[in-house]
Chains A and B, each alone.
Chain A
Amino acid sequence: MYNIVAVSFGEIFLKGKNRGTFESKLIEKIRFALKEFKDVKVYKELGKVYIETMHEEDMENIIEKTKKVFGIVTLIPSIKIEKNEEIIIEKVMELFKYLLQKQNIKTFKIKTKRGDKKFPIRSMELSALLGEKILNEFKEVTVDIHNPDVEVEVDIKVSCYISSERIKGAGGLPLGTSGRALLLLSGGIDSPVAGYMIARRGVEIDALYFHTYPFTSERANEKVKHLKEILEDYCGKFKLYAINILEIHKAIKQHCKEEETTILARRFMMRLAEKLANEQGIEMLITGESLGQVASQTMKSMVVIENSIDMPILKPVIGMDKTEIMEIARKIGTYDTSIEPFDDCCSVFAPNHPLIKPKLESILKSEGNLDIDELIEKVYSTLEIL
């Protein structure tokens, strides 16, 4: 049916002088997302970006991929044809028949835009002509110009574009227009969503994953790798780093109070993440923390945990309920993988009664029992790229 998609991007227009940069970044990202398809052209014409294919049968998959490209607000699948009255009528009828099969239609409206004033038939006339043809062919539908079930648009420019469906894009800003951040990616539900939300604001991400093998399974690594692959549809290719923090857990278990385990371990994770980010020239961290969801995510816990580093931390899901986060996880396709039963941390190291109101002084005192620099060096040497 469709051979072209018109892409519209909302916020990019607000960016004034940067608009050109954003547009070319967006075109680059669309081309990258569609590199598996043959004979696809992505180009700009009269202020709009178009994706055109020579293979109509690819269109559905092209739309699916393009829907995941940040910066796109709406996708308008269209039929591009030459400006010829007979062909326009034929294609409008064809599209209408297709729409009737897809949805329940009682009322419709035809809207013609004649950008090319040389085209001999005026907008109103063409709309009336097409409307009449549809009424004659499909007896069950009537015209409603105020609140129709479907609106078929005929746009006459350099070529003629016929469209009706409007598909919601991923929104946000094109990747690579706002810097880079390091996502602390666990196997859970929240952190992939957090990465998605920040990437959606144009930020390129890399990810860091902590595990305690052999107290956790290699399958947990595979699970995180799978989450990375799902996120890459949105975020583009990125690096997934892994660090084995078993030695840290051992040291904490040996020298510190059990209830402090989570806070202490999180402080180490932050230090390790900051170290990696600094080495990679990354300016911010991202976590999937949601206020009050677990012991380490209370206000007081976060104050104590973040005290261990200087780097700013982005927490895009901080104010969201679990159900809201789950909804996004389902939408972006990470949910089913996140709920697989392979944990990134063994319950052996989870305290029975973790602190929810830790005191910085007593945490610092406990850390006095540990050789922090040596532990960091030791586990940092396990750093690998998965």
Chain B
Amino acid sequence: MEIYLDNSSTTKVRKEVLNEIIDINENYYGNPSSIHRKGLEIEKKITQARKSVAKILNAKQEEIYFTAGGTESNNIAIYGLLGNLNDNNNIITTKIEHPSVYNIFKYFEKKVNVKYLNTDEQGKINLDELLSFVDENTSLVSIMLVNNEIGTIQDINKVVELVKSKNKKTKIHVDAIQAYGKIKIDVNKTMVDTISFSSHKIHGPKGVGGLYIRHNTKLTPSIFGGNQEKGVRPGTENTPNIVGFGKACELVYENFEEEQKKLYDLKQEYAKRLIDEIENIKINSCLNEIDGAPHILNVSFKNIRGEVLVHYLENLGIYVSTGSACSSKAKTDNRILSAINLNPDYLDGTIRISLGYFNSFDEIEYVVKSIKKSVEEIRNIMKM
């Protein structure tokens, strides 16, 4: 028995994607920069993949750049947008960003004024606070579309409207790594400058990601080399994985509504069953479809240790994750759970169930029963 419920960490590659990756390695092993036919044939495959990736965002293929993954996309975008900073500038992000954004902003504290937006208990940013932060010197706002631990969706269109109402020149970056392929994104409606996303969160291979850069937006380069990806990300293309990523996007696109509905239904069913079966439980994720992503369900249990529960469940063939780590030296220190002001009694007992293509309704019964049994056992031991 193996039930993988850690799809926000990474996902299992789909068979169709794997076949594509093998095919490229075996038959299309050329370098797209080569002028001979072997180069041309893989270049065509890459173009095809770029189209498939662009479709998820309703973007033009010329606006898509392949990178080595989400962290790299965030770095290239944020560094690139901050190329002409001066001392008077300020930049804005949230307290619940992923480290690949948060730590860049931390680094820039040495150079400029950095402001961090608070969130409410659902993880939604405060739009009034955003309005008060933006001024004529704001050069960048970076906000994640879906939070990786609790799944909260931010109203990016509203963010764009508010930011542009105060400063038309302010650039906007969106970390959409947990959102890409999971919720609808349309770059014609969401007028941001750059969007980062990753392949391995949607059943594609690891080591490849992408960056959307709006036509006319200029990035200062942070990596130097050849002219691959128009200089945004030089270096010989990771061709098999790029084509695999394209395939994963095709599969997502074909069944988007159906798959999204399945994930929401699964998530809601898990939430309902857990609340029914287990006492002293708190659902930290938004269950409605406007504020919560379909695949992330963050749950806290009073008086347990999330890490211990993870180990109990792995023994039962169930894989979930925890944002907290039990250590004798320090109590849980989780930036995101602290930001949403989670009750301290619940903080240590938090796990994240994250769903994907391979999950099904058949699993729910066993998973809920297993969580119930494990939570009871851990509570028994802890209160002895």
* Residues of chain A whose beta carbon lies under 8 Å from any beta carbon of chain B: 213-218, 250, 253-254, 341, 343, 345-348, 350
| Chain B contacts with A in 327-384, Cβ cutoff 8 A | 327-329, 381-382, 384
Contact of B305 with A by CB under 8 A: yes
Which one of B311, B325, B329, B381 contacts A348 once the chains associate, using CB atoms below 8 Å? Answer: B381
Chain A residue at minimum C-beta to C-beta distance from B331: A347
Contact A341 B311 (CB under 8 A): no
- Tell me the smallest distance from the CB of B106 to a CB of chain A, in Å: 21
Chain A residue at minimum C-beta to C-beta distance from B305: A348
Which one of A218, A254, A346, A350 contacts B308 once the chains associate, using CB atoms below 8 Å? Answer: A346
- Tell me the smallest distance from the CB of B378 to a CB of chain A, in Å: 8
Which one of B307, B315, B328, B384 contacts A345 once the chains associate, using CB atoms below 8 Å? Answer: B328
A347 surroundings in chain B (CB, below 8 A):
326-328
Which one of B305, B325, B381 contacts A253 once the chains associate, using CB atoms below 8 Å? Answer: B381
Contact of B197 with A by CB under 8 A: no
A215 surroundings in chain B (CB, below 8 A):
305, 308, 311, 381
A217 surroundings in chain B (CB, below 8 A):
307, 311
Contact of B312 with A by CB under 8 A: yes
Which one of B312, B325, B382, B384 contacts A214 once the chains associate, using CB atoms below 8 Å? Answer: B312
Known contacts A214-B308, A341-B325; is-contact A348 B384 (Cβ 8 Å): no
- Tell me the smallest distance from the CB of B270 to a CB of chain A, in Å: 22
- Tell me the smallest distance from the CB of A122 to a CB of chain B, in Å: 66
Q: What's the tally of chain B residues with a CB closer than 8 Å to chain A?
A: 15
Which one of A216, A218, A254, A341 contacts B384 once the chains associate, using CB atoms below 8 Å? Answer: A254
Contact A346 B326 (CB under 8 A): yes
Please name 19 further chain A to chain B contacts, defined as beta carbons within 8 Å, in addition to the given A214-B315, A346-B305, A347-B327, sorted by A numbering: A213-B311, A214-B308, A215-B305, A215-B308, A217-B307, A218-B311, A250-B384, A253-B384, A254-B384, A341-B325, A341-B329, A345-B328, A346-B308, A347-B328, A348-B305, A348-B308, A348-B381, A348-B382, A350-B328
Which one of B308, B311, B381 contacts A250 once the chains associate, using CB atoms below 8 Å? Answer: B381
Report the separation of the CA atoms of residues A346 and B329 in the bound assembly, to the nearest whole angstrom: 10
Report the separation of the CA atoms of residues A215 and B305 in the bound assembly, to the nearest whole angstrom: 9
Report the separation of the CA atoms of residues A347 and B315 in the bound assembly, to the nearest whole angstrom: 21
A341 surroundings in chain B (CB, below 8 A):
325, 327, 329
Report the separation of the CA atoms of residues A214 and B370 in the bound assembly, to the nearest whole angstrom: 14
A350 surroundings in chain B (CB, below 8 A):
328
B329 surroundings in chain A (CB, below 8 A):
341
Chain A residue at minimum C-beta to C-beta distance from B383: A253
Report the separation of the CA atoms of residues A6 and B310 in the bound assembly, to the nearest whole angstrom: 55
Report the separation of the CA atoms of residues A341 and B324 in the bound assembly, to the nearest whole angstrom: 13
Instruction: Sample 9 A-B pairs with CB under 8 A, ordered by A number.
Output: A214-B312, A214-B315, A215-B311, A215-B381, A345-B328, A347-B326, A347-B327, A348-B305, A350-B328
Report the separation of the CA atoms of residues A227 and B381 in the bound assembly, to the nearest whole angstrom: 30
- Tell me the smallest distance from the CB of A258 to a CB of chain B, in Å: 10
Known contacts A214-B315, A250-B381, A253-B384; is-contact A343 B307 (Cβ 8 Å): no
Report the separation of the CA atoms of residues A215 and B384 in the bound assembly, to the nearest whole angstrom: 15
Residue of A254, A343, A346 with highest tally of chain B CB at under 10 A = A346
Report the separation of the CA atoms of residues A253 and B379 in the bound assembly, to the nearest whole angstrom: 13
- Tell me the smallest distance from the CB of A108 to a CB of chain B, in Å: 49
Chain B residue at minimum C-beta to C-beta distance from A343: B328
- Tell me the smallest distance from the CB of B195 to a CB of chain A, in Å: 34
Known contacts A250-B381, A348-B381; is-contact A214 B328 (Cβ 8 Å): no
Contact A343 B327 (CB under 8 A): yes
Chain B residue at minimum C-beta to C-beta distance from A217: B311
- Tell me the smallest distance from the CB of B350 to a CB of chain A, in Å: 16
A348 surroundings in chain B (CB, below 8 A):
305, 308, 326, 381-382
Report the separation of the CA atoms of residues A350 and B307 in the bound assembly, to the nearest whole angstrom: 16
- Tell me the smallest distance from the CB of B330 to a CB of chain A, in Å: 9
B307 surroundings in chain A (CB, below 8 A):
217
- Tell me the smallest distance from the CB of A49 to a CB of chain B, in Å: 47
| Chain B contacts with A in 297-313, Cβ cutoff 8 A | 305, 307-308, 311-312
